[in-house]
Structure 1
């Protein structure tokens, strides 16, 4: 097991701003070394996420690994530009095949590990399997999904009730501000569309040869271990799997230290 550095002992440079990508301004935070100095970990958020909702996890990972970290909000999230609704059901394909390559170009990324959560993991898989991109040296996939499960749809339908009948909208507004409805309905309406039940990205898996780390909570309310089994059995490169007890859909929030340790142990395999 690789030792996690003392987080406070490592100086950490940071910068913030917006990258122009596809006619939209995408907010970003850069932590640690620039692309020419170290491997870059690119964080891809979940369907309701953004830069701020990663909380301090990217900073802790940057300090623990010595890598540069790029965190950004997709269009329609956080402080990035809004998008028109409804989102196309191909929105994750659009992100992985078109937006992410342009974002990496805009940021000057040279060598990267994609760190995805939920929808962000799917986007990472689509990019790694659908784009010939030698910059990608590894994948870290938290709570990934490659096909639709009844459990996922049940939980997403429940989130719709919470958004309309509880304070969930107000809590999300703290992070997304004027994008809050764009973020929620763009994600929720797409997943609950009748045609989305056939969504499947398994065809990309056999094209992925870089090292891959899978992290999932045993109590994930949005997906089962069938997702991990499908990825591990079909991906061409080496795969490591970490199942976390007392952990739901967000390992970096529910079990941050164990999730961080899994990344610290995994990253050296992407530098070989």
Structure 2
């Protein structure tokens, strides 16, 4: 397609290992607006966004940047077990390296699932630079539905042949990826975990999107995100959608994002 965004891949060196990143640039040389930086879920990576970054870049007219966290996708293995502080750590570690590599004076943080929690931490840690925050199917606190959904998924992956699905994207890091997800969320440290303190530091406009049939979090999750941020915020439920809006209803998800990015209060921020 003539208007298909250009995509380029990058290798970003960090003290803990190299990150794999990609950037989609709209064909218009004077594309308006700050880039959107995508933060993936616990089992995710760039490849598992599928064609969502390309479609988002084309629809929004903005650059889209995504990266594989350490231990995921084509990035280097994580140097040891994932600490229980990993959500907070991302904002001051790998994300800071990504921001520096792309020289991002301003950006929009967009995170899916646990990546949404990381996007909240990013927005709070970089308040002058974060133009807006968008969370998709994010968890703001640990609830029984979250833990039950994770256990159900674990059973599927540990069944014969199940790990091959993860290995297709994470290679020999697949077992680490699964254990980092399951073990952290079911740890004692995560029993009373919330994003409350991080949300209080968010001053930019915020949009919290959530599928009404999400197996990993109730409608209370986006409501809490929108209620506790210090800046203007709204939450929206996506009907007939589960935990993967970028695959289940990408057109509606992208339309909601573009509408939000075009809002008057965002343009004035």
With the shorter chain as reference, the TM-score category is: over 0.9
Unaligned runs of 5+ residues in structure 2 are: none
Once the two structures are superposed, the pairs formed by residues 53-68 of structure 1 within 5 Å of their partners are: 53-68=48-63
**Bigger mean CA deviation after superposition, 103-112 or 87-96:** 103-112
Q: Deviation string for 1:11-65 (max 9, x for gaps)?
A: 4222102111233111011100599964100000000000000000010000111
The DSSP-based 3-state class of the residue aligned with 1:114 is strand
Alignment match of 1:237 (pick from 224, 231, 242): 231
Q: Distance in 1 between matches of 2:2 and 2:60?
A: 13
Moved over 2 A (4+): 33-38, 268-272
1:192 is matched with: 186
Unaligned runs of 5+ residues in structure 1 are: 1-7
Once the two structures are superposed, the pairs formed by residues 105-184 of structure 1 within 5 Å of their partners are: 105-129=100-124, 131-184=125-178
Alignment match of 1:28 (pick from 21, 29, 36): 21
1:4 is matched with: none
1:104 is matched with: 99
Pairing 1:77–2:62 present:
no
CA contact (8 A) 2:26 2:58 kept: no
Pairing 1:17–2:22 present:
no
In the superposition, the TM-score normalised over structure 1's length comes to 0.91
The DSSP-based 3-state class of the residue aligned with 1:79 is coil
CA contact (8 A) 1:79 1:179 kept: no
1:5 is matched with: none
Alignment match of 2:210 (pick from 207, 212, 216): 216
- Over 3 Å counting, the alpha-carbon distance change for 1:36 and 1:178 in structure 2 is farther
In the superposition, the TM-score normalised over structure 2's length comes to 0.92
Give the RMSD, CA atoms, in angstroms. 1.9
- Over 3 Å counting, the alpha-carbon distance change for 1:160 and 1:61 in structure 2 is same
Q: Distance in 2 between matches of 1:132 and 1:213?
A: 17
The DSSP-based 3-state class of the residue aligned with 2:135 is strand
Q: Distance in 2 between matches of 1:122 and 1:95?
A: 10
Point out which structure has higher relative CO (alpha carbons under 8 A, 6+ apart): 1
Size of the alignment, in residue pairs?
Answer: 264
